[in-house]
Structure formats: C-alpha cells, structure tokens
Amino acid sequence: MKINRLKISLLSLSLLCAFSNVEAQRTTSLKINEVLVINETNYQDDYGVQHPWIEIYNSSAGTVNIAGCFLTTDLNQPRMYPIPKGDVLTKVKPHQHMLFWADGQPSRGTFHLSFTLDSIGSNFIALFDSDGKTLIDSVTVPAGQVADISYGLVHDGWDAKRLDEELRLNQSYEGGNKLWIPFTQVTPSSNNFILDKNDKVENFSKNDSIGIGMTLTAMSVVFFGLLALYLSFKVVGKIAISLSHRRVMKTSGVSIKEAKDMHEQSSGEVFAAIAMALYEDSQHPHDEESTVLTIKNTARDYSPWSSKIYMLRETPTKK
C-alpha cells in the first residue's frame, strides 16, 4: 500500500515536472520583432553578404527552443521553412533575439531561409508552431520599404494590448501610438528600444522627490493587506468558536448559552490547574518524604576521551 502511494506521488511529481518543462519551453512567447526588407549596405551574414533579415524575439523569462517551428510568407503554406532541429543555436535565451536571413539559400545553415522578401510589394511574414497549424505571430511589412531602414516593434516583444496599457498608464510615454515603426538605425540581434534608465525610478525621482507619495501608497498597501488578513481571520475565528460551542452542546447536551459559559470558563489556567491536580494525585505525594537528598562531589577521572585503552596498543597476553 505504502509502495503504491509512493509510486503515485512520484508519478504525479514527474508529470508536474514534465508539465512545467512544457510551460517553460513555450514557443508562444516568440515574436517577430524587426524586419529589414532591403539590405544594401547594412548588416552582413556569416558569408559576408547583405540579405534581408527577420528578427525573432523571446518575450518570456525562460529559454525557448525555436527548432521545429516554421517561418513562412504564405498563410496557405505554413511549413515553408522548417527551422531545423538538433542545432543547439536554436535556443533563444530570455529576452534575447535570433536573426534569420531571407536569402533563399537554406543549404547555408539553420538561419538561412528558403525564401526571400519582396523589395517592392508588401511582405506577409508568419511564425508557426511545430504542429504547422498554430500561428504564433505574424506581421505584414507594408510595401515601399526604403533601403537599410528596418521595420520593427516600437519596444521589443510588445503587442497591441501592451501598447494600450502603456498609453493609458504612462502619460510621459513618448513612443507615439504605433506598434510598428521604421528604424533608421537598425538593431539586428539587439533591443529595438535601448533602455538607458529605469523609467520607474526616474518617475519617482521627478514626482516624489521626498518620498511622501511612496510612503502613503506603500503603507496603504501594507495596511490593506494585513487588514484583509485581519478581517478574514476575524470571520474564521468566529466560525471556529461557534463550531466549538456546537461541539460542546452535542457532547454535553447543554444549551448554547451554557456551552458558551463552559467555553469561557475553560481557560488555559483552569486546564493547567486540573492537570497539576491529576499529576499530584497520581504521584501520591507525602508531607514527609522518606528519602534524603544529599550533594556529593564526584570526581570524573575517567572519560572515553582520556581513556588510554583507545590510544595505546594493548600488550599481548598469553592465554
């Protein structure tokens, strides 16, 4: 029985581990982040040649393996370029980027796509999950792209919801209301928006230089949190007390009022006094004890630490 329980526990634990691993590896956090359609004098690939490129960003806090996913320019052909499996370089670290060259030469390596981009018309680009059906992210790069100017997300990994939130909550946001913008200074494999300061800290420095705002807000949160706990446990306490009264009613067959009285009387001191009386009774104490207590100094000459038998070799004796 015990072994079965252990098996069930271990099985649940391994299932949980497997599940959390799947969660950590979620490809849904991948975003198409920046695209350069016409690359004339810009970033070169590992063969020293300029090609259009597509940047993918991992917006999650865990490493994601992009292997097995598909990149395409046609919604009807989602499996246009399968990203090869077995390449250690396909793991995208948290909040990091990965660049794919749209040069139509997949034989050049994992990051060289089997298609190119249209330099005149618009380009639809999509990233599909490894099942070839689930669309992870897509973008349509408008026609008329200018050479060496990329088209990218205003902030790495943002979506429309995140932009709305920023526009709603941050009045000092200066990025405009567009999610995709052209970048005259392209940022392949690096952040589209360079963070050179902590906006939150800057905001507090500017608007709350002596800290009263922080103190009031934070103390309100602390008080509210502990107040909520207080109220919850006031209710829980009342329920527990009433349940205990009911138990007393049932076991002693008394009314609710009597049960309450009994409960109030049964304080810790009363229990302690009863316990003491029972203990004394069980020990049969006498007024005069027959034994005599004395104090006698004892010499502790011997200790295993100083014993010679543990340190010296015994003299062999003839038997």
CA atoms within 13 A on the CB side of 213: 8
Q: Which is closer to another protein, CB of 215 or CB of 306?
A: 215
Q: Which is closer to another protein, CB of 205 or CB of 307?
A: 205
Per CB under 8 A, 209 contacts another protein? yes
What tokens were used for 242? 């009433």
Looking only at the bridges linking them, the beta strands covering 70-72 and 123-128 are antiparallel
Q: Which of 129, 148, 166, 208 binds another protein (CB under 8 A)?
A: 208
Per CB under 8 A, 236 contacts another protein? yes
| Least spacing, CB of residue 212 vs another protein, in Å | 7
Q: Which is closer to another protein, CB of 178 or CB of 234?
A: 234
Per CB under 8 A, 250 contacts another protein? no
Q: Which of 20, 63, 244, 307 binds another protein (CB under 8 A)?
A: 244
Per CB under 8 A, 62 contacts another protein? no
Non-local (6+) Cβ contacts of 93 within 8 A are 58, 63
Binding mask 269-288 for another protein (x = CB under 8 A): x-------------------
Per CB under 8 A, 218 contacts another protein? yes
3-class secondary-structure state, position 97: strand
In one-letter notation, the amino acid at residue 42 is N
Per CB under 8 A, 212 contacts another protein? yes
DSSP code string of 169-201: H-TT--S-S-SEEEESS--TTS-SS---S-HHH
Phi, psi of 65 (to 5 degrees): -95, 120
Per CB under 8 A, 242 contacts another protein? no
Cα distances (Å, whole numbers) of residue 48 to 29, 42, 45: 31, 11, 5
Q: Which of 19, 47, 224, 279 binds another protein (CB under 8 A)?
A: 224
Q: Which is closer to another protein, CB of 6 or CB of 75?
A: 6
Maximum alpha-carbon separation in the chain: 114
Q: Minimal CA–CA distance to 112: which of 82, 141, 156?
A: 82
Phi, psi of 308 (to 5 degrees): -75, -25
Cα distances (Å, whole numbers) of residue 27 to 63, 191, 282: 10, 19, 72
Per CB under 8 A, 312 contacts another protein? no
Distance of alpha carbon 120 from its chain centroid, rounded?
44
Number of C-beta neighbours around residue 145 at 10 A: 23
Per CB under 8 A, 185 contacts another protein? no
Per CB under 8 A, 219 contacts another protein? yes
Stretch of residues binding another protein (CB under 8 A), selected from 103-111, 142-150, 262-270, 273-281: 262-270
Per CB under 8 A, 94 contacts another protein? no
The H or E element that residue 14 is part of is helix 2-24
Per CB under 8 A, 226 contacts another protein? yes
| Least spacing, CB of residue 205 vs another protein, in Å | 6
Q: Which of 85, 93, 178, 234 binds another protein (CB under 8 A)?
A: 234
- Binding residues (CB under 8 A) for another protein: these are 198, 200-201, 204-205, 208-212, 214-215, 217-219, 221-234, 236-237, 240-241, 243-244, 267-269
